[in-house]
């Protein structure tokens, strides 16, 4: 059975390496809300998916929706339904959530969003609302779903756990776990509140993308990039799991949009585009300047395609020679063996045994210290704007964003078609005005697979609730 790998949704100490200058203070700053709630409405950016959201919300307050409007707003071939079927679906949502309002913004990127909606006259249930659109062309709707949500992601037996009990239970969810609940102090250091194996290396899955972002912020400081510069979609960077792969080659995105897609929906093609734009040398340099426990576990930082080649394109012994090799060996293998392969297009090998041991590695403390570096970037700079917009695009779970002024999130997974989830990771930064940030990092690894995403979600949800009460 073919191995299927997806990377999905669902800090610095005051040191510097040669040529890299970081922020060197942690004073109280303005904490902006990503999507502020003003006059009864969330303020959302102007982009393809939010424009279609506005149209749908208008339809839910009207009596009917014409077939001609549906044909104008939906890519029916991709959506997989006729105009009449879509019309019936809109009517059913309208009946369940008449005059619907948005009650929570979970994730917004240029092409996908997740929100909660509710009938303002009946707040006993919510609609878990996912929407996806084209980026280019007519920017039509490609996907839309609404499911009932009754207010909590926590299982009943997790809802009264203390922090210590939740941490203990989290340890039972996989063969290897790492948990950190911390507050970043005035010196930018993560001070643990609760931790389990927080200094141990764990497979990160898509959390590795925060180091690509950190390097992009440094590239801006060096004058090498601008947030509004255009990045072109090219075939050499197409990666498995890229939502933008369906856009025409040659489509141009701003760098800020690419970063938002990389972090908000963990788009793998956006990741490889930004990885290529920033450059591995600078990414590695930034990683080595962050005072991580073992930066060599991350460097040389592989792109998505490069990492997937280790899973698919080499026999296990060859892949292990890279995983267990020295930095010098890895650099040479990367240059001579991996890079010439280009994008992953075939799958001759299924190295699911290295999903945990042979992929990006860092500790929960490393993730926290990287968040500490990013949140301490100069106030008012494009560096901090990049971090706020990209990391603030999604929060993964309901009932998180509304409790905080600043909410950042990155998570990820590595999934085998044979054994299920081998890696599942979550990392939040949460901050209110006038307070130092909190960070929650929850990492589960199991080389035999079988990690239950809903059990992890339940415990993580309880921990986030407890942090909001601190």
The structure tokens 């800090």 sit at 11
Does 374 score more than 90 pLDDT? Answer: yes
Does 11 score more than 70 pLDDT? Answer: no
pLDDT digits (tens, 9 = 90+) for 138-176: 999 999 999 999 989 999 999 999 999 999 999 999 999
Does 6 score more than 80 pLDDT? Answer: no
Structure tokens at 359: 């992929």
H or E segment to which residue 214 belongs? helix 209-221
CB 244 within 8 A of CB 252: no
**Which residue, among 397, 447, 405, 448, has the nearest Cα to 9 in the 3D structure?**
397
In the chain, where are the structural domains located? 37-149, 158-468
Burial class (CB in 10 A: 0-12, 13-18, 19+), 460: buried
Does 19 score more than 60 pLDDT? Answer: no
**Which residue, among 101, 136, 140, 94, has the nearest Cα to 118 in the 3D structure?**
101
Residue 299 vs residues 191, 198, 202, 273, 292: alpha-carbon distances, Å: 26, 20, 15, 18, 11
Q: pLDDT-derived band of residue 30, with 50, 70 and 90 as boundaries? A: confident
Sequence-separated (6 or more) residues with CB below 8 Å from residue 344:
239, 240, 305, 308, 309, 312, 313
pLDDT digits (tens, 9 = 90+) for 421-466: 999 999 999 999 999 999 999 999 999 999 999 999 999 999 999 9
- pTM for the model stands at 0.93
d(CA 451, CA 467): 24
Residue 4's pLDDT is 35
Q: What average pLDDT does the structure give for the chain?
A: 93
pLDDT digits (tens, 9 = 90+) for 318-348: 999 999 999 999 999 999 999 999 999 999 9
Question: What is the percentage of the chain residues whose pLDDT exceeds 70?
Answer: 94
Residue 28's pLDDT is 66
Residue 29's pLDDT is 79
**Which residue, among 42, 12, 43, 7, has the nearest Cα to 25 in the 3D structure?**
12
What per-residue string of b and e applies to 337-362 under the rule 16 or more CB within 10 Å gives b?
Answer: bbeebebbeeeebbbbbbbbebbbbb
Does 14 score more than 60 pLDDT? Answer: no
Q: pLDDT-derived band of residue 27, with 50, 70 and 90 as boundaries? A: low
Query: What SS3 state is found at 469?
Result: coil
d(CA 20, CA 313): 35
Q: Which CATH architecture has domain 158-468?
A: 3-Layer(aba) Sandwich (3.40)
Q: Do domains 37-149 and 158-468 have the same CATH topology?
A: no
- When pLDDT is averaged across residues 360-389 and rounded to a whole number, the result is 97
Q: pLDDT-derived band of residue 23, with 50, 70 and 90 as boundaries? A: very low
Q: Is 449 left (phi over 0), alpha (psi -120 to 50) or beta?
A: left
pLDDT digits (tens, 9 = 90+) for 108-149: 999 999 999 999 998 888 999 999 999 999 999 999 999 999
- Say if residue 317 is preceded by a cis peptide, omega within 30 of 0: no
Name the class of domain 37-149.
alpha beta
14 or 228, higher pLDDT = 228
Does 316 score more than 50 pLDDT? Answer: yes
């Amino acid at each position: 059975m073919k191995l299927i790998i997806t990377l999905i949704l669902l800090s610095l100490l005051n040191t510097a390496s040669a040529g890299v200058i970081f922020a060197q203070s942690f004073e109280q700053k303005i904490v902006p809300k990503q999507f502020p709630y003003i006059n009864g409405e969330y303020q959302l950016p102007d982009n393809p998916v939010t424009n279609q959201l506005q149209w749908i919300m208008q339809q839910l307050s009207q009596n009917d929706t014409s077939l001609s409007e549906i044909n104008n707003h939906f890519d029916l071939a991709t959506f997989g339904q006729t105009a009449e079927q879509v019309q019936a679906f809109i009517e059913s949502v309208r009946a369940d959530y008449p005059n619907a309002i948005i009650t929570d913004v979970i994730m917004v990127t240029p092409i996908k969003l997740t929100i909660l909606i509710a009938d303002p006259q009946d707040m006993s249930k919510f609609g878990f609302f996912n929407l996806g659109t084209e980026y280019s062309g007519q920017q039509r709707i490609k996907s839309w779903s609404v499911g009932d949500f009754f207010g909590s992601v926590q299982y009943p037996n997790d809802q009264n756990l203390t922090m210590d009990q939740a941490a203990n239970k989290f340890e039972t969810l996989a063969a290897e776990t790492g948990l950190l609940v911390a507050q970043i102090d005035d010196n930018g250091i993560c001070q643990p509140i609760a931790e389990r194996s927080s200094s141990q290396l764990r497979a990160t899955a898509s959390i590795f993308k925060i180091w690509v972002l950190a390097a992009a912020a440094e590239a801006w400081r060096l004058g090498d990039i601008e947030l509004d510069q255009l990045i072109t979609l090219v075939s050499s960077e197409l990666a498995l799991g890229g939502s933008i792969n369906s856009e025409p080659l040659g489509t141009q995105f701003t760098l800020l949009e690419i970063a938002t897609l990389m972090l908000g929906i963990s788009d793998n093609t956006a990741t490889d585009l930004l990885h290529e734009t920033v450059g591995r040398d600078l990414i590695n340099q930034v990683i080595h300047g962050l005072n991580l426990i073992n930066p060599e576990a991350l460097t040389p930082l592989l792109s998505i395609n490069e990492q997937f080649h280790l899973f698919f394109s080499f026999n296990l012994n060859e892949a292990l020679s890279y995983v267990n090799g020295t930095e010098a060996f890895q650099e040479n293998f990367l240059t001579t063996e991996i890079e010439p392969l280009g994008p992953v297009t075939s799958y001759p090998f299924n190295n699911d045994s290295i999903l945990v041991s042979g992929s990006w590695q860092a500790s929960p403390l490393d993730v926290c210290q990287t968040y500490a570096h990013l949140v301490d970037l100069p106030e008012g700079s494009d560096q901090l704007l990049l971090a706020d917009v990209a990391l603030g695009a999604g929060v993964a779970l309901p009932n998180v964003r509304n409790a905080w002024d600043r909410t950042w999130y990155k998570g990820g997974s590595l999934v085998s078609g044979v054994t299920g989830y081998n890696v599942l990771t979550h990392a939040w930064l949460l901050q209110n005005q006038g307070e130092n940030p909190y960070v929650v990092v929850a990492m589960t690894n199991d080389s035999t697979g079988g990690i239950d995403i809903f059990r992890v979600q339940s415990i993580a949800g309880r921990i986030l609730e407890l942090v909001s009460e601190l």
